[in-house]
Structure 1
Amino acid sequence: MGQRNIFVVGLNDFNRARLEQLRGAQDYRFHGVIEPAEVYDTEVFPIEDMLSRAEATLRDFDGPVDAIVGYMDFPVSTMLPLLCERFGTRTASLESLLKCEHKYWSRLVQREVIGNYIPRFTAFDPFDDEALSKIGQAGLYFPFFVKPIKSSGSRLGFRIDSPEDFIMATGRLRDEIGLISEPFNFVLEQASLPEAVRAVDGGHCMAEEIIGGWQCTVEGYVFEGEVVPYGIVDSIRYPQVLSFFCYRYPSRLPARIQSRMEELTRTIMAHIGYDNAAFNIEFFWDEVQNRIWLLEINTRISQSHCDLFEKVDGVSHQQVTVDLALGQRPDMPHREGEYAVAGKFFYRVFFVDATIVSVPDPEAIAALERRFPGTHIELQVTPGMRLSELPEQDSYSYALALVWMGADSDEALEANYARLAEELVFAFEDIIG
C-alpha cells in the first residue's frame, strides 16, 4: 500500500512538524486545505465559500482522499462532517456534532441523562428588549453567565451581576454576534433539527447559572461506539477573573473525581451518538459542595494540549484524530514522554486596550528557550498593533505570548515559568486601563 493522503483544514507549519512525528507518519502524506490565516487569524468566516473552495481542492487532487481532519473550533469543526460526507471519509455525523456544539441543544440532551450535573439554563434573544425579564421568569437570577449559542473560545462570554452588566453584554452581543451566527446558521440549515432547536438559531444566546470550582478537560474519543477518555488536563485561571493562566497535564484532581468525570463522559457521549471522532469535555469540580458540573463539549482535540501530551505521554494527541479518520483504533501511548508534567501558560495583560510599542526580539526568545529546555514561546503580538486587533480573546484580557514548558514536578514547572515571565518584556502606549 502506498502512502495515505490526509488532508488537514488550516494546516500550518507548526502542526505539520508535529504530525510528522506521529506513530505511522512515515506512511502518511499531509496536505493543507484552506490557508491557516483563514481559520487562525480572523473572526470572519465565509463558511459557504470556504467549503466550496475546500471541496474544489479535494476534487482536483490527483490521488485518493483517505482522511480529512482538523483541530480548530468553529468553523473548522463544523466543516468536517460536511466535507467528510461528500468524500466518504470517517468522522462524526453532523447532527451528533451539533448536539455538542449548539449550546442549547447540548444542554437539552445532557439534561436527559445527567441532569444533576448541569446548571440551570435558558436561551434568549439578545435583540429582545424584554430578554432580562424572561430570563428571570425562567428561574435565573443574578449572578448568571451569558454566551452565544455558538461561540469560539471564551469570546463574548460575560458574567452578569446587575442589569447594567446585562445591558453592556447585550450591547456587545448585538454588535458582534453576527460574525458567528450567520455562518453557523448556514451549517444548521444542512442538518435535521428538532423544532425546539431550530427555533433557537445562531443569533440566540444562553443564560446559565454560575458554576465553578476546579476546572479541567477530559480528552477522549469514540471508536466504533466505544467511548474512551484518555487524559485529563487542569485549566487554571488567574485569581478573581475568567482568564486562563495555564493548562497543566496530568490533572491533580483526586482519583475518585477523575473516575466519576470519565463515567459521565462515557454516559453523555454514548447518549449523543457521537462516533468515530475525538472530543473533549470541560468540567468543574466544586470542592466545597463536592459537586461535578459539565461546562461544555467540544468536538475536537484541544490543540492547546498537543504539546502537553507530547511532553508527558510521548506523542501529540493529534495521533487520535489521524487514527480515527483512517478508521483505526488510536495508537496513543501513555507516560512515555520526557517530562512528568507539562503546562501551557498564557502571558497576559489586563488592559481594555493599548498599542504595542515593543516585544521581545527573536534572540531573547531563543535564549529563554535554551535556558529552559523543552520550552516553546509563541508571541501573539507585533509592534504597532492595538490589543483590540487580536482575534479569539476573552472579554477581560489579552494573551501577549503563549509558553509551553515541561518539568519533573508541578513545583518546578511553576517556578520555571515565573522566572521566564519576568524576562518577557513588552512596552505599550495609549493604554486604556
Structure 2
Amino acid sequence: MGSRHIFVVGLNEANHERLRRLRGAEHWQFHGVIEPAAVYDTEEFDIAAMLAEATAELEAFGEPIAAVVGYMDFPVSTMLPILCERFGTRTTSLESLLKCEHKYWSRRVQREVIPEHIPAFTAFDPFDERALEVIGAAGLYFPFFVKPVKSSGSKLGFRIATPEDFQAAIACLRAEIGLIADPFNTVLEHARLPPEVAEVDGGYCIAEEIIGGWQCTLEGYVFQGEPVVYGVVDSIRYPGVLSFYHYLYPSQLPQVVQDEMIGLAKRVMAHIGYDNAAFNVEFFWDEVQGRLWLLEINTRISQSHCDLFEKVDGVSHQQVTVDLALGQRPDMPSRQGDYALAGKFFHRVFFRDAVVSRVPTEEEIAALEADYPGAVIDVQVVAGQRLSTLPEQDSYSYALAHVWLGAADYAGLLADYEALAARLAFEFTEIES
C-alpha cells in the first residue's frame, strides 16, 4: 500500500520532525500548505487569500488527499473546516467549531448545559461610548475581565478594576482589534449563525465576571460522537500577574477534581455537537470555594504541549490530530516516555518595551541543551528587535524564550529551569519599565 498524503497548514521543520515520529508515520507522507511565516510570523491574516492559495495548491495535487490538518490557533483552526469540506476530508463542522471559538457564542452554549460553572458575561462594542453602561446593565461590576470575542493567546485581554483601566483597555482594543476582527469576520461569512450571534461579530468584545484559581487544560478529542480526555496539564502563572510561568504535565491537581472537570468537558463537547477532531478545555479550580469554572474551549491540540506529551507519554499528541483526520481512533500511548513529568517554561521580561541588544548564541544554546539532556530551547527574539513588535504576547510581559524540560520530580524540574535560565544571556537598551 502506498503512502497516505496528509497536508499540514503552516507546516514548519520542527513540527515536521515530530510528525515523522508518530505511530504509523511510516505509512504517511506529510506536505505543507500555506507557508509557516504566513501564520506564525505576522499578525495580519488575509483569510480569503490564504483559502484561495490553499485550495489552488490542493486542487493541483495529483494524488488522493487523505487528510488536511493543523495544530495552531487562529487563523489555522478556523480555516480547517472550510478546507476539509471542500476536499471531502474529516474534521468537525464549522458551526460546531465556532460554538467554541466565538467566545460570546461559546458562553451562551456552555450556559445551556453547565450554567453553574460559567461566569456572568455580556457582549459589548468597544467603539460604543456607552460600553461601560452596557456592561453595568448586565450586572457586571468592578473588577471584571474584557477580551475580544475572538482572540489568540492572551492578547488584548485586560483585568478592569477602575474606569481608568477600562478607558486604557478600550484605547488598545480600538487600535488593534481589527487585526483579528476583520479576518475572523471573513470566516463568519461561511457559517450559519443564529441571529443573536450574527449581530456580535469579530469587532465585539466580551466582559466577564472575574474567575480564578488553579488553572489547567484538558487535552481531548471526540471520535464518532464519543468525547475522550487523555491528559491534564497545569498552567502556572507568575505570582500576582496574568503571565504564564510554566505548563506542567501531568497535572498535580487532586484526581477527584480532575475527574469532575473531565465530566464537565465531555458534557459540553457532546452538547456542542463537536465531532472527529481534537480540542482542549481550560478550567479554573477555586479551591477556597470548592468550585470549578470553565475558562474557554480551543478547537485544536495545544502545540505548546507537544513536547510535554512526547517526554511523558512517548509521542506528541499530534498523534491525535492525524489519527482523527484519517478516520481512526487515536493511538495515543500513556506514560511510555522518558520522564515522569515535563514542563514548558516562559522566560519573560516585564518591561513596557525595550530593544533587544543581545540574545544567547547558538553555541550557548547548544551547551545548555547538552548540560540538560532533553531540554529544548526556542529563542523568540533577535538582536535589534523591539519587544513591542513580538506577535502573540500578553498585555503585561514579553516571552524571550520557551524552554521545555523533563524531570523525575517537580522540585528537580524547577531547579533545572532556574539554573538553565540564569545562563540565558539577554541584554536590552531603551528599556521602558
TM-score range, shorter chain: over 0.9
Question: Match for residue 214 of structure 1?
Answer: 214
1:284 pairs with 2:284? yes
AA of the residue aligned to 1:232: V
Note the C-alpha offset of 1:424.
0.7
Which residue is equivalent to 1:80?
80
Cα distance in 1 for partners of 2:181, 2:370 equals 44
Aligned to 1:177: 177
Which runs of structure 2 are paired with 1:393-404 in the superposition (5 Å)? 393-404=393-404
**Superposition RMSD on alpha carbons, in Å?**
0.4
Matched letter for residue 416 of structure 1: D
1 CA distance for matches of 2:71 and 2:41? 15
Q: State the SS of the aligned residue for 2:184.
A: helix
Give the whole-Å Cα distance in 1 for the aligned partners of 2:316 and 2:72.
15
- How far 1:62 moved relative to its partner? 1.4
Letter in structure 2 aligned against 1:114? I
Amino acid at match of 2:240: Q
Post-superposition Cα deviations, 1:35-72, rounded to whole Å, max 9, x if no partner, equal 00110111000000000000001001111111000011
Residue equivalent to 1:63: 63
2 CA distance for matches of 1:320 and 1:277?
A: 8
1:249 matched to 2:249? The reply is: yes
Q: CA deviation at 1:154?
A: 0.4
The one-letter amino acid of 2:281's match is: I
Pair 1:391 & 2:391 matched: yes
User: What amino acid maps onto 1:152 in structure 2?
Assistant: S
- Corresponding position of 1:227: 227
CA distance in 1, matches of 2:293, 2:408: 31
CA distance in 1, matches of 2:6, 2:301: 17
- String of CA shifts for 1:359-400, please: whole Å, max 9, x gaps: 111111100001110001000001000000100000000000
- Cα shift readout 1:284-322 (whole Å, capped 9, x = no counterpart): 000110100000000000000000000000000000000
Deviations 1:204-235 (A, max 9, x none): 00000000000000000000000000000000
For residue 166 of structure 1, give the secondary structure of its aligned residue in structure 2.
helix
Partner of 2:305: 305
Shift of 1:195: 0.1
**In structure 2, what is the Cα distance between the partners aligned to 1:330 and 1:298?**
18
Matching of residues 125-164 of structure 1 within 5 Å: 125-164=125-164
Q: Name the counterpart of 2:269.
A: 269
Whole-angstrom CA distance in 1 between matches of 2:59 and 2:15: 24
**SS of residue paired to 2:234:** strand
Query: Residue by residue, what CA displacement relative to the aligned partner does 1:246-298 show, whole Å, maximum 9, x if unpaired?
Result: 00000000000000000001100000000000000000000110100000000
| Secondary structure class of the residue paired with 1:328 | coil
| Aligned counterpart, 1:101 | 101
SS at match of 1:312: helix
Per the alignment, in what secondary structure is the counterpart of residue 332 of structure 1? coil
Name the structure 1 match of 2:367. Answer: 367
Matched position secondary structure for 2:38:
helix
Find the residue that maps to 1:139 and give its secondary structure: coil
> Is the partner of 2:391 in helix, strand or coil?
coil
* Aligned counterpart, 1:344: 344
Displacement after TM superposition at 1:32 (Å): 0.1
Supply the AA of the counterpart residue of 2:289.
Answer: Q
Task: For residue 174 of structure 1, report the CA deviation from its aligned partner.
Answer: 0.5
Whole-angstrom distance in 1 between the partners of 2:134 and 2:60: 52
Identify unmatched segments of 5+ residues in structure 2. Answer: none
Aligned-partner Cα distance in 2 for 1:290–1:6:
45
Q: Distance in 1 between matches of 2:429 and 2:187?
A: 42
Question: Secondary structure of 1:253's match?
Answer: coil
Match of 1:417 in 2: 417
Unaligned segments of structure 1, at least 5 residues: none
How many correspondences in the alignment? 433
- In structure 1, what residue type is equivalent to 2:189? E
* 1:124 corresponds to: 124
After superposition, residues 313-324 of structure 1 pair within 5 angstroms as: 313-324=313-324
Query: Which letter maps to 1:332?
Result: M
- Match of 2:114, SS state, is helix
What residue number does 1:27 align with? 27
Residue identity matched to 2:139: G
**Which residue is equivalent to 2:51?**
51
Q: Which amino acid aligns with 2:135?
A: I
Identity of aligned residues (%): 70
Q: CA deviation at 1:425?
A: 1.2
Aligned partner letter, 1:88: G
Q: Deviations over 1:314-370 (max 9, x none)?
A: 000000000000000000000000000000000000000000000111111100001
Q: CA offsets per residue over residues 135-191 of structure 1, 9 Å max, x none?
A: 001000000000000001100000000000000001110010001111111111111
Residues 64-102 of structure 1: CA deviation (Å, up to 9, x unaligned): 111000011000000000000000000000000000000
Q: CA deviation at 1:133?
A: 1.0
- Secondary structure of the residue aligned to 2:246 is strand
Distance 1:134 1:403 in 2: 42
Taking the aligned partners of 1:175 and 1:414, their CA distance within structure 2 comes to: 39
1:172 aligned partner, one-letter code:
C
Deviations 1:79-134 (A, max 9, x none): 00000000000000000000000000000000000000010000000000000011
Tell me the secondary structure at the aligned position of residue 65 of structure 2: coil
Which amino acid in 2 is paired with 1:107? R
Q: Distance in 2 between matches of 1:302 and 1:97?
A: 16
